[in-house]
Structure 1
Amino acid sequence: MAEEIIVAGWMDYEPGDRGTMLEALVELGRRTREEETGCLDYAMTADPTDERRIRVYEHWTSRQALDEHFTTPHIKDFRAAVAGLSRVGVSLTAHTVTTSRPLR
């Protein structure tokens, strides 16, 4: 297995901004999964117990695929669409995965 990358963590937004951010993330996620062959999974979801928090999970075929993601037109469109929103906290970590096994 080649080294894959998993990005995991959370982002916090002002409660009034989280819904707008989630709407923008739906389109970003759709385009990322459809248009980027290096994307294995891409999910941003509302935390059901915290009105500010969005949980982040991304799975990439390589560091290069993740790096290229940040240069795509849909990332530029997304950043422009959410530029006025107030992020109040973030904790994201990129993990390099060298082995995996299915859980049963």
Structure 2
Amino acid sequence: MAEEIIVAGWMDYEPGDRATMLKALAELGRQTRAAEPGCLDYAMTADPDDERRIRVYEHWTSQQALDEHFATPHIKDFRAAVAGLTRVGVSLTAHSVAASRPLR
């Protein structure tokens, strides 16, 4: 069985661009969760303490599923839609998950 992948971190945008990016990410998330069986979770949220920051969390069944995500039509449409927005910082890390257990 392939190791699951978690992508986590943040992206910073000019304050005037963050709302537009969040709206585009919400639509991308809906399409990704609906159309990609390898996507276990996909969430981008506004950081309540930083007007520039978007928190990123993605959970994938495998690296292959994540790689296939980047080739989907909805990713291409998303990238075109947000091409004019100004990202001023980013820190994203992909984590390979060897084992998981419920937290009680």
Does the pair score TM above 0.5?
A: yes
2:39 is aligned with 1:39: yes
- Root-mean-square deviation (Å): 0.7
Q: Deviations over 1:27-86 (max 9, x none)?
A: 100000000000000000000000000000000000000000000000000000000000
AA aligned opposite 1:22: L
Aligned match of 1:86: 86
Name the CA distance, whole Å, in 1 between partners of 2:99 and 2:66: 18
1:3-82 matches, cutoff 5 A: 3-82=3-82
Supply the AA of the counterpart residue of 2:70.
F
Letter in 2 for 1:32: T
TM-score for both structures, normalised by structure 1: 0.98
Q: Is 1:98 equivalent to 2:72 in the alignment?
A: no
Q: What stretches of structure 2 of length at least 5 have no aligned partner?
A: none
- d(CA) in 2 for partners of 1:2 and 1:40? 14
User: How many Å separate the matches in 2 of 1:2 and 1:85?
Assistant: 35
Q: Which secondary structure does the structure 1 equivalent of 2:75 belong to? A: helix
Which amino acid in 1 is paired with 2:8? A
* Percent identity of paired positions between Structure 1 and Structure 2: 87
**Which consecutive residues of structure 1, in runs of 5 or more, have no partner in the other structure?**
none
> 1: CA distance between counterparts of 2:76 and 2:100?
32
Q: Distance in 1 between matches of 2:12 and 2:2?
A: 32
Number of matched pairs: 104
Runs of 4+ in 1 over 6 A off after TM superposition: none
Relative to the length of structure 2, the TM-score reads 0.98
